[in-house]
Structure 1
Amino acid sequence: MHDKVTKAIFPVAGLGTRFLPATKSVPKEIMTLVDRPLVQYAIDEARAAGITDFIFVTSRGKSALENYFDHAPMLERELEEKGKDELLKVLKSTYMESGEVAYLRQHRAHGLGHAVWCARRLIADEPFAVILPDDVIAAGRPCLQQMVEAHAETGGNMVAAMEVPHDQVSSYGILDVNGERDRVLSVRGMVEKPKPAEAPSNLAVIGRYILTPSILRNLERIEAGAGGEIQLTDAIAADISAGNPVHGYRFEGERFDCGSKAGFLQATVAFALARDDLRDDLLRYIQDTVIVPKAAQ
């Protein structure tokens, strides 16, 4: 068995410009997917995987994100006085206790690799997870939990992987693999945002990682890559070149890209349909506004 993963980095410094004007005053990470902020889905997934230390890499204008995890005594009292016990339970599930969460500033937008590097002093010499809240994964067993269990057997670095259409590979880090066993992929190379004709596969890296401290040392040395940013993919590829093990994990579940408007809307519909209290009304609406008019054409 390998070292247990107990720390997770959440890079949340992005400006969310694709969701303007909403993100002018509201951090993208606390925009609600049905009735929970995006970041809450990521936190719940991390907790299910055994994460106990939560590290947020933020930027100016993210104070609302920090406030979201704080206690709300006045609201608690109001809910208690009105006997709204279920809502009170939901409220308390959003709290982060003192010492459980840390916030760091990324002062310059230098990419995902740079954001992870900003947390180096809080990681020390142990494996850690990285979770991108934009990637919401609906799964019976949370994605990071699947990965942590697999990582206990493999050690090394591990990235979540899924197949994407070949014409979309230029939007992702892409894996070059030489074998697969029980959903674990043996990775011999990675390339960030390749042209479709040059991509080694259509296996894309999705926003879940379990990494070793050597990745942080690699981030100290590598130069800016695709898009003029410090790419996390390049740091992982450097570990492969050094002979350190890197695995992909073909997770079970459906991933939604909530960094895009279309993906956010798709996730909203999918998560609402999974709710007993919302399914019937939403299905009726879809039938009345989409299915019936289309059939009449």
Structure 2
Amino acid sequence: MTHIRTAVFPVAGMGTRFLPATKSVPKEMLTLVDRPLIQYAVDEARKAGIEQFIFVSAAGKGALEDYFDTAAALEMQLKAKGKTEALDALAPTRMPEGALSILRQAKPLGLGHAVRQAKRLVGDEAFAVLLPDDVIMHPAGALAQMVEAHRAQGGHMVATMDVPRANVSSYGVLDVSQQKGRISQARGLVEKPRPDVAPSTQAIVGRYILEPSIFDRLDALGPGAGGELQLTDAINADVNTAGVTGYRFDGERFDCGSVQGFVQATAAFALAREDLGIDFSAFIEARTAQQKAA
């Protein structure tokens, strides 16, 4: 049985980089092949043993709430027509009774502020945070790997991946004091450093395991960069008490918060599908040859 039972999903963002689509469709409901982004994050959490799912949402996200609700009329129609394959496709969208909680973040005051909304529901135990924009391609996902490592490690843990030094200013970066395999002991986190002063090239990806002490740190913090409550600042404030480690996960990360990353993820996941990969690969090859010849 996993010791990490609860996961928080910050999903209050407006998704302005995907306008006009996100004018009426929440960003986390944008479809990657045939599942919305939030489904990939929830599936990853389930594989890690998560039992309680907390969405920190915002007004205008009714489609997100409806998605994980029971569609009784639709299921009855599919059952009556013998469409068992379509009925089975709905199974991942069902939540056990009481497993899903939806909170409202009234104002977009940062990731730290979003996480703090879940304090009462999380209680006094370690918990996970998953950012649906970061989609990880791996059979088990990144969180299951982190949960296993955290069982022995404890403290706050962040997912990391190596990036070119020229790109570190686009990420939070780990300040590494000691490296052992996939685990990095950290002095702290540095938000979007210049390449020439970055303490490492280990970029932080949107998966966290946090001790409950993070809520005390968040309560004590004032607004940081951009007037927002930064989760990075709270983790840094706890580095000498709870400790901070980075976990370099196995798998490929796609930044689906950007249009380019979303398109790349769509292609990668389609190519990996047994029912789509061969035909889609042939289409890509033919299209590429056509463009080269033009």
**TM-score, length of structure 1 as denominator length:** 0.96
Question: Are 2:200 and 1:173 aligned?
Answer: no
CA contact (8 A) 2:43 2:92 kept: no
Letter in 1 for 2:185: S
Q: In 1, distance between residues paired with 2:138 and 2:259? A: 21
Q: In 2, distance between residues paired with 1:261 and 1:281? A: 24
Who is 2:257 aligned against?
259
Question: Are 2:212 and 1:213 aligned?
Answer: yes
Equivalence map 1:55-74=2 (5 Å)? 55-74=54-73
Unaligned runs of 5+ in 1: none
CA contact (8 A) 1:191 1:234 kept: no
Who is 2:123 aligned against?
124
- 1:13-42 deviation digits (Å, cap 9, x = unpaired): 000000001000100111100000000000
Q: In 1, distance between residues paired with 2:102 and 2:141? A: 24
CA contact (8 A) 2:68 2:95 kept: yes
Q: In 2, distance between residues paired with 1:285 and 1:146? A: 35
1:95 is displaced (CA, Å) by 0.9
Question: Are 2:206 and 1:233 aligned?
Answer: no
Equivalent pairs counted in the alignment come to 294
CA contact (8 A) 2:211 2:242 kept: no
Letter in 2 for 1:89: D
Q: In 2, distance between residues paired with 1:93 and 1:213? A: 29
Q: In 1, distance between residues paired with 2:226 and 2:192? A: 9
Equivalence map 1:13-24=2 (5 Å)? 13-24=12-23
1:187 is displaced (CA, Å) by 0.7
Could you list the runs of 4 or more consecutive aligned residues of structure 1 that deviate by over 4 angstroms after TM superposition? none
Who is 1:249 aligned against?
247
Work out which of the residue numbers 270, 273, 276 in structure 2 matches 1:275. Answer: 273
Who is 2:90 aligned against?
91
CA contact (8 A) 1:193 1:226 kept: no
Equivalence map 1:153-172=2 (5 Å)? 153-172=152-171
1:293 is displaced (CA, Å) by 4.0
Q: In 2, distance between residues paired with 1:174 and 1:131? A: 18
Q: In 1, distance between residues paired with 2:226 and 2:289? A: 42
**TM-score, length of structure 2 as denominator length:** 0.97
Letter in 2 for 1:103: I
Letter in 1 for 2:14: L
Letter in 2 for 1:286: I
SS at match of 1:233: helix
- 1:164-195 deviation digits (Å, cap 9, x = unpaired): 22232222211011222231111112111222
1:218 is displaced (CA, Å) by 0.4
1:292 is displaced (CA, Å) by 4.9
1:92 is displaced (CA, Å) by 2.4
- 1:251-292 deviation digits (Å, cap 9, x = unpaired): 000000000000000000000000011112211111111135
1:125 is displaced (CA, Å) by 0.7
Question: Are 2:16 and 1:8 aligned?
Answer: no
Letter in 1 for 2:275: D
Q: In 1, distance between residues paired with 2:102 and 2:135? A: 22
1:140 is displaced (CA, Å) by 2.7
- 1:36-79 deviation digits (Å, cap 9, x = unpaired): 00000000000000100000000011111000000001110111
CA contact (8 A) 2:185 2:246 kept: yes
CA RMSD of the aligned region, Å? 1.4
Greater displacement, 83-92 / 253-262? 83-92
1:90 is displaced (CA, Å) by 1.2
Q: In 2, distance between residues paired with 1:98 and 1:52? A: 11
SS at match of 1:136: strand
CA contact (8 A) 1:175 1:205 kept: yes
Q: In 1, distance between residues paired with 2:170 and 2:270? A: 28
Who is 1:101 aligned against?
100
SS at match of 2:186: strand
